[in-house]
Amino acid sequence: MIQPPTLPTNYTVKPGQIKTSTGKTIRTEEMIINMGPQHPSTHGVLRLEIVVDGEIIVDCIPHIGYLHRCFEKHCEQMTNYQQVIPYADRMDYCSAMTNEWAFALAAERLLKIEVPERVEYIRVIMAELQRIASHLIAVGTYGIDSGAFTPFLYTFIDREKILDLFEMTCGARLLYNYIWIGGLSHDLPPKFIEQTKEFVAYFRPRVKMLNDLLSYNEIFVKRTANVGVLPREVAINYAVSGPQLRGSGVNWDLRRDDPFVIDHKLDWQPQVGKGEVGTVGDCWDRHIVRMREMEQSLNMIEQALAGLPEGNVKAAIPKRIRPEKDAEIYVRTEASRGELGYYIISDGTASPFRVKARGPAFVNLSVLPEIVRGGLIADLVLTAGSIDIVLGEVDR
Amino acid sequence: MEFIQTLLANQLVVSILLSALPLVFIILMVLVVLYTEMKVAAHIQDRVAYMRTGWHGVLQPIADMLKLLQKEDIIPTKADKLLFRAAPFIAFTGTYVAYAVLPFSSIYIGSNINLGAFFLVAAGSLVVIGILMAGWASNNKWSLFGGVRSAAQMISYEIPTALAVIIAVMITGSLNLQEVTKFQDGGIGNWLVFGGPLPWMQKLMLMPFTVITFFILFVASIAEVNRTPFDLPEAESELVQGFNTEYSGMRFAMFYLSEYANLFTVSAVVVSLFLGGWSSPFGAFMSGPVWGVFWFTSKAFLFILIQIWIRWTLPRLRVDQLMYVSWKVLTPWLFVCIFAVGLILVI
Amino acid sequence: MGLLDQRFENGNVFITSLDGLLNWARLSSLWQMQFGLACCAIEMMAASASNFDIMRFGVIPRATPRQVDVMFVAGTVTIKMASRIKRLYDQMSEPRYVISMGSCANCGGPYWEHGYHVLKGVDRVIPVDVYIPGCPPRPEALLEGIMKLQEKVRKESMIRKRA
Amino acid sequence: MDLYTIILYFFAVVTLGSACIVVFSRNIVRAAFALLFAFFGVAGIYIFLLADFIAITQLLIYVGGIMVLMLFSVMLTSHQINVDAKTGTIQTLPAILIAACVGGGVIWVFWITDWKEKSDLPVIDTTAAKIGELLLTNYLLPFEIASVVLLVALVGAAMIARREKKG
Amino acid sequence: MLTEFGKALIFLIIGAIFVALGLVGAWVFRPHRPYPEKNATYECGEEPVGSAWIRLNVRFYVTALIFLIFDVEVAFLFPWALVYRQFGLMGFLEMAVFLIILIVGYAYVWVKGDLNWDKPKPQIPVFDRTIVTAGRMRSVSTILDDDDVNEGVE
Amino acid sequence: MEEVVKFLQHPGLTHYLILSGLLFSLGLFAVLTRRNAIMVLMGVELILNAANINFVAFSRYVSTSIDGHVVAIFVIILAAAEAAIMLAIVLNIYQNFNTVNVDDINQLKD
Amino acid sequence: MTAQEIFDVLKAKFGDALPEEKLSAAGGSAAAGFSLQVWITIAPGRTKEICSFLRDDSEMQFDTLSCLSGVDYNNGTFGVVYHLSSMVQKHKIVLKAFCTKEHPHIQSVSSVWGTANWHEREVFDLFGVIIDEHPDLRRILLPDDWEGNPLRKDYKVQEFYHGMKVPY
Amino acid sequence: MSSIGTYFYNIFHSLYTVVVGMRITIKHLFTRSATVQYPTVKMKIPERARNRLFVNIDDCIGCDQCAMACPVDCITIETIKSTPDMDLGMTSKNTKKRLYLPRFDIDIAKCCYCGLCVWPCPTECIVMTDVYEFAEYDRKDLIYSFSNMTEEEIAAAKVRLEQYNQEQAAKKAAAVPAKEPAPPAANPLPPSVPDIGKA
Ligand code: SF4
Ligand code: SF4
Ligand code: SF4
């Protein structure tokens, strides 16, 4: 039934660790518990098969694929590139904007399209708003994981305001189909700038409130500090990305380090976990990185709004999308959860030959078994929560 | 008529009727508390909750109960059927027995045992057994974890509770809750939390310790009823629903009822030991048997409200932190208080 | 819609029949299984959050299927998940209802054609009471679906022949 | 037979019945839960003996403490919850004989002895206070020794339980 | 006195009767259609693996043990608390000795760590440095440390 | 027959004593036959309870003092201490030998 | 380092493991604004060796495996594409290893980069490429008893799975 | 900090943060709730909202562009060519309609509300409305049929086309190098059932 855990050989195991990697059978005092697919704290249909000794986790084997929606197959079956965008939306449904952006970007690079500057600015605004919305879900559900229900509802109130902005822009609340290859589906609506500024002003104190209510609450700190520590070398080796990587103390943000858009022109700072309350790379660091990133995103939004040029948002949308034969591209962007890459191979027809989506959550989740060993079940819940997975993207 | 009179003359019948009163109270109280909790929680969270059953949804708890009455009652094949059936009985009975010694008013107390406070401490253990039984009998890993954890938590916090009760007993010199309350009668200044009706010097010296004791008792009582931040046994994010994961329908309703009834019990203990029970805070003003019921329940409700407030604010402790709080924070502080109070009272 | 409305509708003072009362209890206290599958689950969460507040309808999330009345199948049902959903549905205590939320649960939605691993409609494994279209349905649409379900429950009889 | 006596017998039956389940049940967890009822019945008997404090202590310590401890132990060692009573240290039949002989002998002695009961003894209303006084006066030494016993039990049991698995 | 306990007994019985009544009442209304899948054990939608009657952590025993000892102590404290004032300082001291002896045990278990629940013993994954060249480590730390610009710590 | 009924109708010391005797023999039986160490312990607890009933009964019916109560309390305490230690030993043995059978333990003794 | 330099280094060190003589580029035109990708073809049986060199060499320091994708080229060839990047040196490279449909075996690199573990399982799952020396080669997304490898171009979906109709 | 100091610091710090949190929540107890009480109050839907599709069938020229654009293939259009002697009227955009639409079904249960079908429509007759409340008890009720042709009309149109085709064929046979019938529309007619998939 249970598979041996997979410790890559180049990781040393601390002395005193129970050796389950050798035998297939568990010891008599251990037991296997299924957490999920229906479990309140697996954030969707993740199934964690955990081996526990008492309450201490000996091993954890994630089982994914309960939401495998055949994204890559669909990409190949579409009649044109544009039709992929709705599916890209549905991949990471908490952060649809960044997903469609990444795909649009990849297609644009494949087609060598240059988009107007206004489009880039709007895309940044949208992506950062989306990042806030996505982090709000992460923070809110993390509150539930830690037993506090109220922050979840507060974050959703704030998120609803962002969704209103999105809805007035493109008509949808969750899955936007807004960023098209070479442009946008709509220009900004008239009152958008005003309302966004309002939102930014409204949201800053809310971040502080959330911090007071949750992040700096002593119980919360005690629960998350020193839990699920992911050292930076391991994080890099596992290609972990996004807030999780930065939470491990690696100052790496694709928006700055592999600039794919105008983000690097704006004034902002990637936020890094410093181990203020525990070890660098623990759950609290990941959480607080998200909280602080939201503030940074607000800065970016403000600047992008200020610098928004005029122009046509549909100028570069190609009539027919037909890249050259055998062209291929891998484009990586910094989505809400980390490095979102699209690898597209074209065969010269109007539909992609192969699309591989490299979802950040998929990769981030793969490190989970490494960091939960030795913790309690409660720690597992918090560690899994701090990774902020979206199953749509893990399973695609 | 005559029949009723003869019936009322029979002491047994009367005491049975009197003993059934708290049951009515429990049911009403649970309905009210359920409603209040959801409403308060909702408003804390900028929501409204229950709006569609009657005026502002006041009938919602009734609907819930009626619905639970209609739910199928599932006994899993693998469960230990006998124990599975017995568990709700034990849990609820244990809860209800505790009501026997709560002094609702100066004239009503279910059973005026001389050892009331002691009895309360002991009765709590029945609930522990019921929960343990439920967790075991379900033959479900989550239930077992929940049940055992619940039991471990309740017994861990029973010690602080008992020690705090002892401090109250030391000051009042009686285990009879009715007498403990009478001892504190006569206004807010006489409440034990402020040192009781003792000479000024003693009172001032006692005050810090009684306040600490009171506070600890309050914390322990939250933990005893498994509420946030101590709600690990039912921690939804880890253990699904804890020990009642496999229970459905009316059997579950009994646990639900007993949980909320316990909520009142622990608040009532705090109130009658430290906040003057049924006695009015204004001395003779607004006091009397009927007012007594009012004061007693409203004080207890105040506590329930505070518990609700705490519940919807805080995250949950982890199990080791839970034990830490009980054994390494509350208990030692209470030892200190016992020594201090003991010394102050004899010199 | 609740008790009080009925009073005005029927013109009599209180509930006329036990059946009505019991139906009323069932329809106003629909406990929900805490369980979401995909994008629609986010909208379901939004529906339970402050702005829409599903609890106004008496919907309380419970984690275990034993104590719930209604299961919102919110999201894409994959074939790997279908057997689990069936099992969870089986383990719910009767009377139980299912609301299929979103295109995916209705019929496979955007994945109906090429989704080799997507179950084309949850009604292939469990009976569905109300279908809510949308991708994702707005939270209000979910609320409307609940009201539709309530209508359905209202018409039921206590001794039902179901499943 | 008045109500009083009926209730007494009720408790007696509860006690003995549960004890029988404890002795004859093949499921150790059920045996443990039956023990709970036995203790409970004994507590009832104590009340009839006007020993209210002892009764509640019984509830507190046996039901609340020892039972929980035992249940935990059972659950800790529980990969076999069925325990066979057949092949014990002593075979069943000799055991029955021994138990019956000893028990019967004791009961016979109880039966034939004239105990000079004084049924009109004054009812002591405040046993708890009396016990407290006795503890602080006559039984001071045992009282203090009890604390030592408890200390030893605590330290010893904790130590034994803590000892790691051999090898 | 007996009658007071009698009343407590009545409470007990009424409690049990209430539960029974509730169950009987539910039996009138509720459907009852069991089938094997329905009665299967719930485990988050998966098929349960192994029996749930597993062995628990020895911690639970230790907790119960400490509880038991203190429970006993509480049983002593109650009668004492009732009367000790009659004995003045002596009464207090006698109990103080009793308590202190027990507190010694308490301190013992505290120091020995028996009061600690199973603390999580997180096993932080360690990257094996031996197969990584020294240059790598240095350069990793440079990208880690060069940005100490984030002063946003509150 | 009548005598029996009469006897039953007027509970007195003897009744309690007989009850305790029965309890005692049940406990003894459990101690003798059970192989599971915890079950043996349960038998011991029954015996102790039987003894306690005696103490309290004598104190009720024979003397005016309540010394019997105090003794009973001490017995309860001893029972608690004994249970604690014994269960600890059982657990320890279980951890080492993976059995709680008294006989097996006997054989396992080095 | 540019791709050419990396290629040269590799050529010097693992000459026999690089089937192609030169750097390959997509679609012929690698220039023009955005660099479409160039890649190095490596032998499917030597990936681990080459990758650990790329990771550990102080000049290369490819500490991250950004992406690992399987491709069915629809001509009897499968490929696995490795997108490497270095956080330290800030350069990127693409490696490709090809295998045939008849003998779909590629060596695992999960001992070099932890992240490769799941990616390789996915390749195994969706393409049926057997990853040699993988510590835990199971299907990852699809159920264990699923038939076929869906991302193969010739994939036909099965009609029923455990009694559930699969196609619409 | 010494361990004793930490002990006390922890206790008081915990209490302090608990109080901070409780202050926040009690403030919220008295603020206005954010809830929109749905059935009585409805949220404002922005004009761009993308909810249920609506087809103004009178304007539709049956060009099948929408079905082509749909990634989900949930639009099914069947057309019957009209004969030149029939006048199907004009759309509101002054395009001449040349096709009968016996079938214009949108399986609203499959639709993913992406709005891609709206853009290419030459007559802007397929639009997304702000109707979002259309839950049904039966899945079949979610297939929306927009065609307004009755069975008889469809049959008649088919017959007419058949006749026309026969006539044309007859004409063709009579005069071999005769003129082709006029091309039906500016847009080349795609197959009536869209065939999406790779060539
Ligand atoms: S219906 Fe749409 S929103 Fe809902 S799960 Fe399916 S794809 Fe996601
Ligand atoms: S909205 Fe999208 S899915 Fe729906 S019919 Fe139009 S194109 Fe198709
Ligand atoms: S694109 Fe417009 S006109 Fe053409 S078929 Fe669709 S709805 Fe009709």
Supply the CATH number for residue A271's domain. Answer: 1.10.645.10
Ligand 2, atom 8: closest residue by C-alpha = H70
> Partners for H (CB, 8 Å, 3+ pairs)?
A, B, C
pLDDT at A88 over 80: yes
C-alpha of residue A94 to centroid of ligand 1, in Å: 12
Band (pLDDT 50/70/90 cuts) for residue E138 is: very low
CA-closest candidate to residue G160, choices G141, G144, G146: G146
**End-to-end CA distance of chain A, in Å?**
26
Per cent of chain B over pLDDT 70 is 94
What is the rounded distance in angstroms from the CA atom of residue A284 to the CA atom of residue A290?
Answer: 10
pLDDT tens across B325-337, in order? 888 888 888 888 8
Per cent of chain C over pLDDT 90 is 0
CA B199 to chain centre: 32
Q: G3-141: CATH homologous superfamily?
A: NADH:ubiquinone oxidoreductase Nqo5 subunit (3.30.460.80)
* E72: nearest CB among F77, F87, F95: F77
* Pairing mode of beta strands C130-132, C97-101: parallel
Highest-pLDDT range among A31-45, A261-275, B56-70: B56-70
Q: What's the mean per-residue pLDDT of chain A?
A: 80
In terms of pLDDT, which residue wins out, B133 or E32? Answer: B133
pLDDT tens across F29-87, in order? 887 777 777 788 888 888 888 888 888 887 777 776 777 788 888 888 888 888 888 88
The DSSP result for A65-122, as a single string, is -TT---HHHHHHH-SSGGGHHHHHHTTSGGGHHHHHHHHHHHHHHHHTPPPPHHHHHH
pLDDT at A12 over 70: no
Place of tokens 């100052």: A251
pLDDT at E118 over 70: no
Ligand 1 and A90: CB distance under 6 A: yes
pLDDT at B78 over 80: no
Residue A174 lies in a domain: yes
- Provide the shortest C-alpha distance from residue E29 to chain A (in Å): 29
Band (pLDDT 50/70/90 cuts) for residue D120 is: low
Ligand 1, atom 6: closest residue by C-alpha = C104
List of chain B residues whose C-beta atoms are within 8 Å of the C-beta of residue D68: 125, 128-129, 132, 151, 155
Q: What's the mean per-residue pLDDT of chain B?
A: 80
Residue D106 lies in a domain: no
CA-closest candidate to residue H112, choices C137, C128, A160: C137
List of chain E residues whose C-beta atoms are within 8 Å of the C-beta of residue F88: 61, 65
Mean pLDDT of the region A317-321: 75
Place of tokens 């009727």: B17
Which of B205-209, D42-46, G141-145, H191-195 bottoms out in mean pLDDT, i.e. has the lowest?
H191-195
Band (pLDDT 50/70/90 cuts) for residue E130 is: very low
Domain that holds residue A307: 71-394
pLDDT at C160 over 60: no
Q: How many helices (H) and strands (E) does chain C have?
A: 6, 5
- Cβ-defined contact of D110 to F14 (cutoff 8 Å): yes
The ligand that comes nearest to the alpha carbon of residue H77 is: 3
What was the pLDDT predicted at E122? Answer: 66
Per cent of chain A over pLDDT 90 is 0
What was the pLDDT predicted at D166? Answer: 45
CA H122 to each of CA H57, H74, H125: distance values in angstroms, whole numbers, following the listed order: 13, 19, 8
Question: Which of 1.10.10.10, 3.30.70.330, 1.10.287.3510, 3.50.50.60 is the CATH number of F2-101?
Answer: 1.10.287.3510
pLDDT at D156 over 50: yes
Q: Where are the domains of chain G?
A: 3-141
Residue A162 lies in a domain: yes
What was the pLDDT predicted at H187? Answer: 46
Band (pLDDT 50/70/90 cuts) for residue D27 is: confident
- Provide the shortest C-alpha distance from residue A75 to chain H (in Å): 10
Residues in the ligand 3 pocket, defined by CB under 6 Å: H 55, 60-66, 77, 120-123, 125-126
List of chain F residues whose C-beta atoms are within 8 Å of the C-beta of residue E68: 80, 83-84
**To test the ligand 3 pocket, which listed residue (H126, H127, H144, H146) has its Cβ within 8 A of the most ligand atoms?**
H126
Does B57 contact C at CB distance below 8 Å? yes
Which of A130-139, B102-111, H51-60 bottoms out in mean pLDDT, i.e. has the lowest?
B102-111
What was the pLDDT predicted at F64? Answer: 67
Mean pLDDT of the region H12-23: 84
What was the pLDDT predicted at A15? Answer: 27
pLDDT at D34 over 80: yes
Mean pLDDT of the region C43-64: 84
What is the rounded distance in angstroms from the CA atom of residue G74 to the CA atom of residue B321?
Answer: 58
pLDDT tens across A148-166, in order? 888 888 888 888 888 888 8
Band (pLDDT 50/70/90 cuts) for residue C3 is: very low
C-alpha of residue C103 to centroid of ligand 1, in Å: 6
H-side interface with A, Cβ within 8 Å? 10, 13-14, 16-18, 20-21, 24-25, 28, 34, 45-46, 48-50, 68-72, 112-116, 119, 128, 196-199
pLDDT at A141 over 80: yes
Mutate to test the interface with E, among B77, B93, B322 (most CBs of E within 10 A): B93
Residue A154 lies in a domain: yes
pLDDT tens across A324-371, in order? 777 788 888 888 888 888 888 888 788 888 888 888 888 888 888 888
> Partners for C (CB, 8 Å, 3+ pairs)?
A, B, E, G, H
- Cβ-defined contact of F88 to E61 (cutoff 8 Å): yes
Q: Which contiguous run of DSSP H or E holds residue E28?
A: helix E2-29
pLDDT at F90 over 70: yes
Mutate to test the interface with A, among B318, B325, B328 (most CBs of A within 10 A): B318
Place of tokens 């069991």: E34
The 10 Å Cβ neighbour count of residue A308 is: 17
Q: What is the CATH number of the domain that holds D41?
A: 1.20.120.1200
Q: Where are the domains of chain F?
A: 2-101
Is residue C128 classed as helix, strand or coil in its secondary structure? coil
> Partners for B (CB, 8 Å, 3+ pairs)?
A, C, D, E, H
* B313: nearest CB among H21, H31, H34: H21
pLDDT tens across F4-29, in order? 777 666 677 777 788 888 888 888 88
The 10 Å Cβ neighbour count of residue H13 is: 15
The number of the ligand 3 atom at minimal distance from the alpha carbon of H67 is 6
Mean pLDDT of the region G27-46: 62
Closest residue of chain H to C76, computed from CA coordinates: H110
Residues 6 or more apart from H169 whose CB is under 8 A from it? none
- Cβ-defined contact of E108 to D154 (cutoff 8 Å): yes
**Tally of structural domains, chain A:** 1
Band (pLDDT 50/70/90 cuts) for residue F104 is: low
Reply yes or no: is the peptide bond before residue C136 cis, omega within 30 of 0.
yes
What was the pLDDT predicted at G110? Answer: 80
Ligand 1 and A91: CB distance under 6 A: no
Query: Do D54 and D130 belong together in one domain?
Result: no
Query: Do D129 and D62 belong together in one domain?
Result: no
pLDDT at D113 over 80: no
Domain that holds residue D161: 125-167
Burial of residue A314 (number of CB atoms within 10 Å: 0-12, 13-18, 19+)? middle
- Cβ-defined contact of F84 to E58 (cutoff 8 Å): no
Residue range H53-152 forms a domain whose CATH class is: alpha beta
* B237: nearest CB among A33, A145, A217: A145
* Pairing mode of beta strands A338-347, A352-358: antiparallel
Band (pLDDT 50/70/90 cuts) for residue A21 is: very low
- Provide the shortest C-alpha distance from residue A7 to chain G (in Å): 8
pLDDT tens across B2-31, in order? 777 776 667 777 777 777 787 888 888 888
- Provide the shortest C-alpha distance from residue C122 to chain A (in Å): 14
pLDDT tens across A231-254, in order? 877 888 888 888 888 888 888 888
* Pairing mode of beta strands G77-85, G64-72: antiparallel
Query: Do D68 and D130 belong together in one domain?
Result: no
* C124: nearest CB among G141, G142, G165: G165
Band (pLDDT 50/70/90 cuts) for residue G129 is: confident
Mutate to test the interface with E, among F73, F78, F86, F93 (most CBs of E within 10 A): F73
Band (pLDDT 50/70/90 cuts) for residue A22 is: very low
What is the rounded distance in angstroms from the CA atom of residue C163 to the CA atom of residue E53?
Answer: 32
Per cent of chain A over pLDDT 70 is 91
What was the pLDDT predicted at G102? Answer: 84
What was the pLDDT predicted at C9? Answer: 47
